[in-house]
Amino acid sequence: MDADVIVVGGACGLTAARDLGARGLDVLVIEARDRLGGRTWTRRNALPGVDLEMGGMYVDRRQEHVWREIERYGIATTAPTWPSEWRWHQGGNLRSGLPPVPVAEITGLVGLSAARTVSGG
């Protein structure tokens, strides 16, 4: 195999391969799996009638380069929803009920205020 550039797959690798190819370079992409996209992967019908996100699924607006690709390809996104039931470990005990922090404060703690769920392929 002869190539100007060898790229190891994944979503970032595919973006690099596209941009290098657009500059006239001969690019060879190597993937570890039988599909493209690395950790970004929606497993269709993983459970009967249910698609599951098997890898990356949340993207924050601060990830400018990722958002540029989402917008370039018109990838569908939806705002995340909060769970109807909360469970967490605290002091070695499994607890449930209301979260230990007010919901309004959670986004500030984990930076989810601008997060979106990405529908991968």
DSSP 56: -
Buried (b) or exposed (e) across 9-39, using 16+ Cβ within 10 A? bbbebbbbbeebeeeeeebebeeeeeeebbe
**Residue 21 corresponds to which tokens in the numbers above?**
């190819």
Residues 6+ apart with CB under 8 A from 96: 85, 86, 87, 88
Measured over the CA atoms of residue 31, residue 33, residue 36 and residue 39, the dihedral's sign is negative
Distance CA 32, CA 21 (A): 21
For the whole prediction, is pTM greater than 0.75? no
Task: Tell me what pLDDT residue 113 has.
Answer: 44
Residue range 47-91, pLDDT digits in tens: 899 888 787 767 778 888 888 888 888 888 887 777 777 787 878
Closest CA to 66 of 28, 26, 39, 86: 39
